[in-house]
Structure 1
């Protein structure tokens, strides 16, 4: 990496010089006026940390428990489609880099690499994080079942079902740039999905509500999927506390608070603002993860302080991939982890546990470690 690339913002700036305008619009753009896209960043930045000094920090660590696994740190790579747009090695590079950095990896259903190939690369790595598969339910249940069986057979450890995108948002930046997938690039894991039958529409009917959305997933589909897989299911795109409660009722093993990186419904609140209400609704029944706008180790620490079990990082991984393939992705993840450790130390927080030692019982004891819940103003 160039010596002057020392932050995720630097990675973004460098990637901007390497990507075509069309690909940049696809990667960096959001829906409509991109209000949610901008506010995802600003919301984390607006939260203020408070520090405690002279606290015991020896033996501190970033380890967390998630779905029965011990993770070296709470950073996962979010599912992102078509990564060969950024580098010829695409998902192979990002997945291997994540594994080598101990980060979890979520493979997109719209990846350009066969899911079995990614699993063969990641699973043998001793220090790897969890390997999950992101799923968009297709109209054909037989195809969904076949795909889930492939995922299970390959060794993936959870399904991440995206529930907040029954339709794409109006991505004006993409449309202005004229973005389209280049020839030879496709979602290879969906290659055998049956073509959707397009019914003739009567006068006055909507091509959206009376055609496309007749196949949109519902809570009944969550129950069906739960019955047809042995893998835990996390629902990605939960933003409302009532939906969080429904997710638990329908057997979800985890919730990911996400507004799709500002790429679907513009003017949704930032995920940093949405997270606390979802955490409160869940009451610890399942882990709650969050994505959207994470750019600094301080952002990761703030998310954990608000009750998240882990965070997912999206666009910065693509910037690192564009800049230097696997090396660039590894650098992005390492920067975040290093910054997280520094932020913890400077806050007097030796672990990411919600309640550290006896600090709740003895809040002013000079030798009491600080729990992560204590570091936000």
Structure 2
């Protein structure tokens, strides 16, 4: 299941993000492709994420003065050249031997923010050193699954703090894996040589008593709760962002705990199939929390127009996941940088063609939902 190094060139027929998918599929082992590209169940949520952005239409403005326009923004007090970040994805070395280090160099070169997965195949310290030593880099955040070994979890937090990570992203929507049929049909297993190195040394989880439910009395007995979020909040100086919030009541509860940001996400359709699309959930979360929380959204973002729509619906930034992993598999770090450049350029084009000089000019009045009327009307 080993992956040969990708050629350090971009295929001539790649002109937008989705073009990388077919090249990646051709290069990767079928089981790895199933793991990276698949979703839960019938993959309805996976499909709905993209369709939801596509169903929103743009109502452009013309003859605006746009000289001096830009895509700059801030997030958690950190400056970004553009509102596009790389989502946490496990085991980058499944796609390319350079793994997370290649991704880090590419993201830093394109001034993009990066969120490193707890389940990375490279130590978090190595990624931090590679990313933060590059001039012009964007924010570097650490994604965290709260482990059953809470002491080990706190040790991970201390390592991230010491390595220069600027925020913690706590994934809250995956206390158990989804029923990923495509992955199971392909019999995917993580190769031993691609161990999740940041989790080495953690205590083994206790086996549930005989006759008990293996899910509810096993895995879920150690699942993260709001009490754990409050405990983490009290034990780190880093800003905290919750990833995987779709319900307005959960957003309000996070707000009450002093959480600084939310990522509106359904885990890329990989956990609960038929969960709502992120484009549907985003404006409802924005309405629930007002201006007090920074909002980020992922799930199906494939075009610069999708980024503009997300910002119009209340997000301050977006995450992409699968597209940059496909690009990594196809062209290594160069492919990742290319994906970020394509999306940033498309966003700038969309802004110019809708009359938006800066991100602050993007608003719901630019959007039409399936011809039924302006969303911001």
State the TM bucket, normalised to the shorter chain: over 0.9
**Does structure 1 residue 374 correspond to structure 2 residue 365?**
yes
- 1:1-26 C-alpha deviation (Å, 9 max, x unpaired): 12211011111121111111101100
CA distance in 1, matches of 2:356, 2:258: 34
Pairs within 5 Å for 1:165-176: 165-176=174-185
1:196-224 Cα offsets, whole Å, 9 max, x none, are: 1113233xx31111111110010000010
Deviations 1:31-54 (A, max 9, x none): 000000000010001100011111
**Is contact 1:83–1:90 with CA below 8 Å preserved after alignment?**
yes
Gaps in structure 1 of 5+ consecutive residues: 357-370
| CA deviation string 1:222-251 (max 9, x = no partner) | 010011111011000000000000001112
Offset of residue 296 of structure 1:
0.4
Contact 2:241 2:261 in 1 (8 A): yes
CA distance in 2, matches of 1:156, 1:79: 14
1:66 corresponds to: 75
8 Å Cα contact 1:351/1:372 also seen in 2: no
Query: Any residues of structure 2 matched to 1:315-330 within 5 Å, and which?
Result: 315-330=322-337
- Confirm or deny that 1:193 pairs with 2:202: yes
| Correspondence for 2:121 | 112
Q: What is the aligned partner in structure 2 of residue 145 from structure 1? A: 154
Three-state SS of the structure 2 residue aligned to 1:45 is helix
The equivalent position to 1:283 in structure 2, one of 272, 290, 308, is: 290
Instruction: Give 2:375's aligned residue.
Output: none
Partner of 2:65: 56
Residue 38 (structure 1) aligned with residue 29 (structure 2): no
Instruction: Write the distance in 2 (CA, Å) between the matches of 1:350 and 1:13.
Output: 35
Question: How far apart, in 1, do the equivalents of 2:244 and 2:143 lie?
Answer: 12
Equivalent of 1:271, from 275, 278, 282? 278
Tell me whether 1:135 sits opposite 2:126 in the alignment.
no
**Unaligned stretches of 5+ in structure 2?**
1-9, 369-377
Number of aligned residues: 359
Alignment of 1:81-120 (within 5 A): 81-120=90-129
Query: When the two structures are superposed, what TM-score results if normalisation uses the length of structure 2?
Result: 0.94
- The match for 1:361 is none
Kindly indicate whether the alpha-carbon contact (under 8 Å) linking 2:327 and 2:336 is maintained by their aligned counterparts in 1: yes
Computed over aligned residues only, the root mean square deviation of the Cα atoms, in angstroms, reads: 0.9
Alignment-derived partner of residue 352 in structure 1: 359
- Per the alignment, in what secondary structure is the counterpart of residue 48 of structure 1? strand
